[in-house]
Structure 1
Amino acid sequence: MPPSFRRVLRGATLSAACAGLLASLPGALQSAQAQAPAQTAAAPATALPPIASFFANTAFGGAKLSPDGRFLAVRSGAPGKRDFLAVVDLQSNSATVVASYGDADVGRFQWISNERLLFDTREKGVGPGDARFAPGLYAVNRDGSRFVELADRTGRPFSTGTRIVRKLLPWHTYMLDQEGAQDSASVYVTSANVDAAGELRSVDLLRLNTLTGATQTVPRPAGSVRSWTLDTRGEPRLATTLERDTLSLHYRDPASGAWRVLASYPAFGDGAGALQPVGFAGEGKLFVLARSGGRDTTALHRFDIASGKIEPEPVFVTTGYDFDGSLVANRERVLGVLFRTDALSNEWFDPTMKAAQAAVDKLLPATINLLSVPAQADAPWMLVRSYSDTMPGSYALYNHRTGQLSKVADLRPAIQPAQMGRQQFVRYQARDGLEIPALLTLPPGGKRSGLPLVVLVHGGPYVRGAAWGWDAGTQFLASRGYAVLEPEFRGSLGFGIRHFKAGFRQWGLAMQDDLADGVRWAVAKGIADGARVCIAGASYGGYAAMMGLVKDPDLYKCGINWVGVTDIGLLYNGGWTFTNDTSDEYKAYGMPQMIGDPVKDAARFKATSPLAQAARITRPVLLAYGGADRRVPINHGTQLRDALAATNPDVEWVEYPEEGHGWALEKNSIDFWGRVERFLNRHIGRAAATP
């Protein structure tokens, strides 16, 4: 059954179940002027932090300021309880639960005006394979009144029962991850159009009145629209279409509403010809990514829409990195950017924001502090999210008029920074001279040499891996005494076009060598014990873990592969029983260019297939797969498991039938990482017999 919507809590009355959970929230909004998180406490406690402190569901699910900055919307919950949505009045410091259900969790949420919020639902206790409902779509006022169900979760055509009988939007109606104008009861939402095979064919944009449920479809340009971008006034201004192997960026004229093409470029490959929009900078100007002056990396530039030209002088450059980030703006102007280099941080163009950043950093000197602002420029409050390598994150409110800093919540309060490992961004040379960036996390305590090492390989593979900061998997391994190396092997995004293209068609070849060279670097530096190294990863990382055991059996003592590719050919054609969700366009145009052609490169695919080379995998292996995975279907795992059975006596297998591409359920995450802990301990940890 769908959520019991009559259980929405009205006004200022808190239910008995939620009152206790929220009781600490208003009280928590106390001055935190001198309460910076302790990052360097005494030596770590003898008892190891429990697995659940890393992987259990978090009680606090984020916060967002209303456009005028007077109200704070918060998603919260507790162990065994459903996540609910509450609103805190920052003037009276009082809280109201506005949505709470006995059979669903509040999911994503956003303000659409000072009075009204939009949200959807989720089922955090249900895996993807057992999912029964779509997210739905709902709106409610900040005092809990005027609740409206907008989009159905089940596919039924009409609402029934005690609700007003009217047609609901279909289940495939979703929130747009853009704030919009935030000045009325209307909002833009998307509606996905899929074909009979489940392939996405286009995305419509609807203007939705959240009080009446009435919609207007935005006229779209010719072609298959895949994404939409709103301008500074919250109006649809850009649409991106995909036709075969070509992306086109369309611009909608504010006066006439007519669409015209700004640019067309290859959808796949190195992105050299792409016009990648970041956001608008007022009428007629667009922020885009571009390479100029012979630069290998992208920078942030302005683009003149009338002339169709990129201004050659960059607005912001992240030296040594591609620009990876977004604009921070209010209704009046762009204030700065949120961007990632080795870590995620802010850079401000606005003097007031520079001063606010300096003041917050003085109050919280041991963390990186990210500031976000409400839509109204005169709002006094800013939301602060703080984090470090040893601290998962916390939220606070900063009043730039009074200088008051008020704590809201910690993301994982059970985590003690003194029990976490310290992290640094390093670079080492691959055998062909290419520089490989990497994150190195050392375990807590004084030992800095001769450590057991886990090489943790990111998925993708053509994406950016981890950034400096607290990560559950990395810090769990560090807390158990392992050094963790996370290489940004060739093909990883974010480090320039040369680094990215160097990974094309290099699965199991130079990409694999980059990982091995990282191990040899760590051993040569004295950081790692060369006799105690394990390689691990998910998705492509799982593939790399298995290929590491094929290609460098003397380097790795064991391998851990969860939801990993085991044969490139299976990505193209897994058989009629097993299909993946990789798009037809990527299979036809992207994969042959970036990974290889299944016919022309058949010999290479076989030589770099863990499945085909299974007899060479003699080291201990842990395999874990989701039974409902559509990205890397479970036959990748079962076929490798069966192939290894003939020659390898030390293979541990676990299947989570309800899971997809990764672990969504708390119980499965805790179970899996418990298996990882025991597996590593046997083979490279304290229980392992060292030579």
Structure 2
Amino acid sequence: MSPDGKSIGMLALNNNDRFVLSVLDTATLTPKVIAGYDKTDVVSFNWVNSRRLIFSIGDVRALIGEGRGGSGTFAINKDGTEIRQLIASVGDEKTRVLNRMHSLHSTVSANEENDVYVTRQTGNRKNPSAALFKLNTLTGQNENIPAPVNSIGFMLDKSGQLRVATTSLDNLTGVEYKDPKTQQWRNLITFDNIKEDGFSPAFIAPDGQLYVRAHKGQDTTSIYRYDLEKNKIDDTPIVSTKGFDFAGRFIFNNKQNKLLGISYESDADGILWLDDKWKSYQAKIDKALPNTVNSLAGANNAENNLIIVHSFSDVHPGSYLIYNTKTEEFTAIGDRKPEVDSKKMSYKDFVRIKVRDGLEIPTYVTIPRNSTGKNLPMVVMVHGGPYLRGVHWDWNPETQFLASRGYVVIEPEFRGSEGYGKTLNRAGWKQWGLAMQDDVTDVTKWAIEKGYADPKRICIAGASYGGYAVLMGLIKEPDMYRCGISWVGVTDINLLYDVSWSDTAGSTWARYGMPILIGDQEKDAAQLKATSPVEQASRLTRPLILAYGIEDYRVPLVHGERFKKALPASTKVEWITYTGEGHGWRQPQNNVDFWTRVEKFLEENTAVK
């Protein structure tokens, strides 16, 4: 919604299946396409102020190397006038068009100005850094905003003044604060971002108060006020999510100079409203739409009677509606994937499963709809990363595809995963192929014990780290899994360090993160060899899909080639490569081809014999 609440911007597909930028007048509910192209897509947009928008274009279907990034970023008025290119693949000062090293950072529309903020990458892989610029969307003029050296992140207050910068140098992270009274920077904290908890800036409230995300001696992170006078974090958090690290966003109304609410994610998405009026709106909307998560958004700079509702669930990709707070009526805007029939989708449940050493593994379980829920074929889906939150309570196309074919899908957030506290995360350090793999095994055994899975019809699947876990699962547990599906999977940890053209080799992550979280090439050489699928490929006997993108720089093709070469000649392997694809499949035809092969492969290897 525009800051004044009079317009709604949206991306929609046109008749040519290209994404266009459209603006809907909230008074007449009449949409107008203001930017659209025949051979490229509008991929993102933001409101600059109540009259003007900024948007970027690119080809969402283009292969790597074919200009999928498009020709840059533009600004346009909501009536389609005064379009101006701001960022291009090439640019110079004469044309006042910035080059592709720049990207949009944020818009600050409290004062209805025409400026946005962009960042430019200034460092390298060993020590990345960025610079911040203020850019006028009407004239194209830009000015550098001074910031501390080695800055990688920036936070502005509601008036557009830079207040907080996050810095990074080697293994050290810093948080710097610019005092509005003295206009001087001061360091709030510097810490080793791998070994120490530290804290990170979360938001600056309309009154200028800083809030941070921190552990503060607890297992999970919460949101705390940072006392800028005492230079310390308050003892009591303002919001916590028990059993989960805080992840969410902060909802403000600039006109009221007020924080209205805080959204968060636990086992599903939720929101804490601090404003009684919005709390009542949420209650009425949830009553009218009882089976979905309903996320609300209003005008930032005004008070009006219209709210955008994003309604979604595990079986519903999402709908957008307008809710009128006076009439309490809904007006449908559109669906994210209208072709999906929610009545045919399968429900996703969250459980915590105790594994062999007593640690609890958060896990999502999807049982095929209209099935008995007992003694079914099962796919164990292992997420990539691995040091991130891999699963969410939402509509997932891969999970729903497998469930629609009759498979139970179980998705463990094994140790090392983030989002559930530092105990679970740190228990996964240097545990590739070891305790991390045991968690996947124990969760699979749990599903068998519960009667969900037929122990003779279980397959393991995953991408990236998940692909690594597939190979180690087949090697370590040949009697548990009948088959494996590994795509863009790591086959040798040493290759992450050694392949010079990969995006990990030589990076800050490879120098300071990987030795601690995955393993040091020298100190842990024996362990890395023992947990390398390539070194143990001769033990793999089960049928396997092994798929890679030719242009993958995260897990280069050599991972798959070496593993395939090391396999016994008798192993049944379906080798798949896609030209122009990277770390996953962007092209619809490749996506369809891959999952069609997966469906056939699963039928052949999990059918009752």
- TM tier, smaller: over 0.9
Matches of 1:572 and 1:428, distance apart in 2: 34
Question: Equivalent residue for 1:479?
Answer: 404
The alignment's TM-score, normalised by the length of structure 1, stands at 0.85
- Conserved in 1, the CA contact under 8 Å of 2:379 and 2:408? yes
173-182 or 492-501, which moves further after superposition?
173-182
Q: Does 1:281 align with 2:205?
A: yes
Summarize the Cα distance change of 1:307–1:218 in structure 2 as closer, same or farther, 3 Å threshold. Answer: same
- Conserved in 1, the CA contact under 8 Å of 2:369 and 2:403? yes
Q: CA deviation at 1:200?
A: 6.6
Q: Deviations over 1:184-211 (max 9, x none)?
A: 111111112254xx66732111100111
Question: Equivalent residue for 1:328?
Answer: 251
Question: Equivalent residue for 1:168?
Answer: 97
Matches of 1:217 and 1:428, distance apart in 2: 51
92-101 or 212-221, which moves further after superposition?
92-101
Question: Equivalent residue for 2:13?
Answer: 77
Q: CA deviation at 1:180?
A: 5.3
- Conserved in 2, the CA contact under 8 Å of 1:129 and 1:627? no
- Conserved in 2, the CA contact under 8 Å of 1:567 and 1:636? yes
Q: Does 1:667 align with 2:592?
A: no
Question: Equivalent residue for 2:215?
Answer: 291
Q: Deviations over 1:6-48 (max 9, x none)?
A: xxxxxxxxxxxxxxxxxxxxxxxxxxxxxxxxxxxxxxxxxxx
SS in 1 for 2:437: helix
Matches of 1:652 and 1:199, distance apart in 2: 37
Q: Does 1:191 align with 2:84?
A: no
**Following superposition of structure 1 onto structure 2, how do residues 434-513 of structure 1 map, counting pairs within 5 Å?**
434-513=359-438
The alignment's TM-score, normalised by the length of structure 2, stands at 0.96
Matches of 1:356 and 1:390, distance apart in 2: 24
Matches of 1:637 and 1:262, distance apart in 2: 46
Q: Deviations over 1:475-494 (max 9, x none)?
A: 11100100000001011112
Q: CA deviation at 1:591?
A: 0.8
Q: Deviations over 1:38-66 (max 9, x none)?
A: xxxxxxxxxxxxxxxxxxxxxxxxxxx10
- Conserved in 1, the CA contact under 8 Å of 2:462 and 2:486? yes
Summarize the Cα distance change of 1:401–1:233 in structure 2 as closer, same or farther, 3 Å threshold. Answer: farther
Question: Equivalent residue for 1:640?
Answer: 563
Q: CA deviation at 1:401?
A: 3.0
Summarize the Cα distance change of 1:620–1:179 in structure 2 as closer, same or farther, 3 Å threshold. Answer: farther
Summarize the Cα distance change of 1:142–1:200 in structure 2 as closer, same or farther, 3 Å threshold. Answer: farther
Q: Does 1:344 align with 2:269?
A: yes
Q: Does 1:231 align with 2:154?
A: no
Q: CA deviation at 1:134?
A: 5.3
Question: Equivalent residue for 1:216?
Answer: 143
Q: CA deviation at 1:532?
A: 0.6
Identity %: 42
375-384 or 478-487, which moves further after superposition?
375-384
Q: CA deviation at 1:643?
A: 1.7
Q: CA deviation at 1:468?
A: 1.4
- Conserved in 2, the CA contact under 8 Å of 1:241 and 1:248? yes
SS in 1 for 2:339: coil
The one-letter code sitting in structure 2 at the alignment partner of 1:172 is: M
The one-letter code sitting in structure 2 at the alignment partner of 1:493 is: E
Q: Deviations over 1:493-532 (max 9, x none)?
A: 1211111111111000000000000111000111110111
Q: Deviations over 1:662-682 (max 9, x none)?
A: 112222111111111111111
The one-letter code sitting in structure 1 at the alignment partner of 2:80 is: G
Matches of 1:498 and 1:166, distance apart in 2: 53
Matches of 1:635 and 1:172, distance apart in 2: 29
Q: Does 1:107 align with 2:29?
A: no
SS in 2 for 1:356: helix
Q: 1:533 aligns with which of 423, 434, 458?
A: 458
Question: Equivalent residue for 2:72?
Answer: 136
Q: CA deviation at 1:288?
A: 1.4
SS in 1 for 2:122: strand
Matches of 1:132 and 1:149, distance apart in 2: 18
Summarize the Cα distance change of 1:489–1:427 in structure 2 as closer, same or farther, 3 Å threshold. Answer: same
- Conserved in 2, the CA contact under 8 Å of 1:129 and 1:657? no
- Conserved in 1, the CA contact under 8 Å of 2:107 and 2:116? no
- Conserved in 1, the CA contact under 8 Å of 2:496 and 2:504? no
Question: Equivalent residue for 1:45?
Answer: none
The one-letter code sitting in structure 1 at the alignment partner of 2:140 is: G
Pairwise CA RMSD of aligned residues? 1.8
Question: Equivalent residue for 2:57?
Answer: 121
- Conserved in 1, the CA contact under 8 Å of 2:45 and 2:55? yes
Q: 1:592 aligns with which of 508, 515, 532?
A: 515
Matches of 1:383 and 1:284, distance apart in 2: 27
Q: Deviations over 1:570-608 (max 9, x none)?
A: 11112x4x4224662111111111111011111111111
Q: Does 1:652 align with 2:588?
A: no
The one-letter code sitting in structure 2 at the alignment partner of 1:592 is: P
The one-letter code sitting in structure 2 at the alignment partner of 1:588 is: R
Number of matched pairs: 607
Matches of 1:177 and 1:563, distance apart in 2: 33
Summarize the Cα distance change of 1:132–1:463 in structure 2 as closer, same or farther, 3 Å threshold. Answer: closer
Question: Equivalent residue for 1:16?
Answer: none
Matches of 1:127 and 1:259, distance apart in 2: 44
Q: 1:609 aligns with which of 508, 513, 532?
A: 532
The one-letter code sitting in structure 1 at the alignment partner of 2:452 is: I
Q: 1:304 aligns with which of 219, 222, 227?
A: 227
Q: 1:206 aligns with which of 127, 133, 140?
A: 133
Summarize the Cα distance change of 1:313–1:384 in structure 2 as closer, same or farther, 3 Å threshold. Answer: same
- Conserved in 2, the CA contact under 8 Å of 1:129 and 1:660? no
Question: Equivalent residue for 1:316?
Answer: 239
Q: Deviations over 1:136-183 (max 9, x none)?
A: 110000000011111112x2547xxxxxx7231112111115655461
Matches of 2:326 and 2:221, distance apart in 1: 37
SS in 2 for 1:427: strand
228-237 or 553-562, which moves further after superposition?
228-237
- Conserved in 1, the CA contact under 8 Å of 2:497 and 2:504? no
